[in-house]
Amino acid sequence: MYTQYMFNALAINPAYAAVDEYMVVTTLARQQWVGFAGAPNTQTISFHTPIKESNTFVGALLIRDQIGEVLTETGGYVTLTQRVPVGEKSYFAIGLNGGVSSFQANYSQMYSQSLSSGDDPVFMNENSIKGNLGMGVMLFSDKYYMGVSSPHFYSGDLIKLNKNATSISYRPHYMLQAGYLMDVSENLKLKPNLLIKYVNGSPIQFDLNANLLIKETVWIGGSYRSLDSFDGLLSIFITPEMQVGYSYDFATTQLSGLQKGSHEIMLQFRIPVKGRDRMACYF
């Protein structure tokens, strides 16, 4: 889960690499439900760049995700994206990603030694190396974007160190993203965004967001995430190539009285690439 997904889009759609003409490095750290024992926390580092003057783009993504007090997954993925023009200022892009992750489930921290060392596979620690595949498509211009993706369409065990333990089964998540940029005045731009997420067995979740860009320097905005929270966002361009962002989630669920909100910090660098247009990217 990301609140600043609009600034960290490679993590949810591998086709996003084709949107920006710059080499882009993004780091993001999320601490969810502060004060709640075992609350999820996620850290990502992403990189993507065009290949010389072609319509081919490559990227990489590192993710560490911890859920509860015993589940941790750390993975690395590479992305390959190709785009084609479909109009005077519009492009269609398709992206693929693939990689491996290390999954650890230390159930022995939650149960007594007698259970965790017994023959019941439910209580045995799991330690495995998983293979992951994902894909996405996007249609975009300098004014809009639309995309559909499943960044972890397939995940399965490559190496299972404890063959007697119960395996965690993954279900693919499907995501729909869209956004539009409009000029409000000479110094103001408004960008509404939409993210819809679906996984079999859970309700559909949607994220409605609107950000206002002030004098090409400050993004300020808010979001509503169904079944979860209201969110505030602030992002500042320290320089035209360096952006720092922060978001805070106000929970609307029954967990609101048991935790102190969710924090997310983002830092992004955009590095010019020789032979590419040096233009601002608002997506």
pLDDT at 283: 79
Would you say residue 282 lies in a domain? no
Q: Within a domain: residue 66?
A: yes
Asked whether residue 191 carries a pLDDT value surpassing 90, the answer given is yes
Question: What per-residue confidence (pLDDT) applies to 156?
Answer: 85
Range of the domain at 132: 5-271
Is pLDDT at 116 greater than 50 in this prediction? Answer: no
Q: Is the pLDDT of residue 113 over 80?
A: no
The total number of structural domains in the chain stands at 1
Model pLDDT, residue 210: 97
Residue 18 lies in a domain: yes
Query: What's the mean pLDDT in 66-92?
Result: 92
Q: How far is CA 17 from the centre of its chain?
A: 13
Label residue 222 by pLDDT band (50, 70, 90).
very high
Average pLDDT, integer, range 242-264? 90
Of residues 226, 223, 177, 222, the one with CA closest to residue 204: 226
113-117, 139-143, 250-254 — most confident range: 139-143
Q: Which amino acid is present at 162? A: N
Confidence of residue 49 (pLDDT cuts 50, 70, 90): very high
The answer as to whether 283 is a domain residue is no
Distance CA 214, CA 204 (A): 33
130-155 average pLDDT score:
94
The whole-number pLDDT of residue 18 equals 95
Q: Give whole-number Cα distances, 57 to 25, 44, 61, 215, in Å.
A: 14, 19, 14, 30
d(CA 183, CA 169): 46
**pLDDT above 90 covers what percent of the chain?**
69
Q: Which residues contact 14 (CB under 8 A, 6 or more apart)?
A: 59, 79, 80, 81, 95, 96, 97, 134, 135, 136, 149, 151
Mean pLDDT of 65-93: 93
In a domain, 182, yes or no: yes
d(CA 251, CA 212): 23
Give the separation between CA 25 and CA 242, rounded to whole angstroms.
10
Q: Is 278 a domain residue?
A: no
CATH code at position 56:
2.40.160.40
pLDDT number for residue 63: 95
Tell whether 174 is covered by a domain.
yes
For residue 14, the model assigns a pLDDT of 96
Query: Is-above-0.85 flag for pTM?
Result: yes
Residue 279 lies in a domain: no
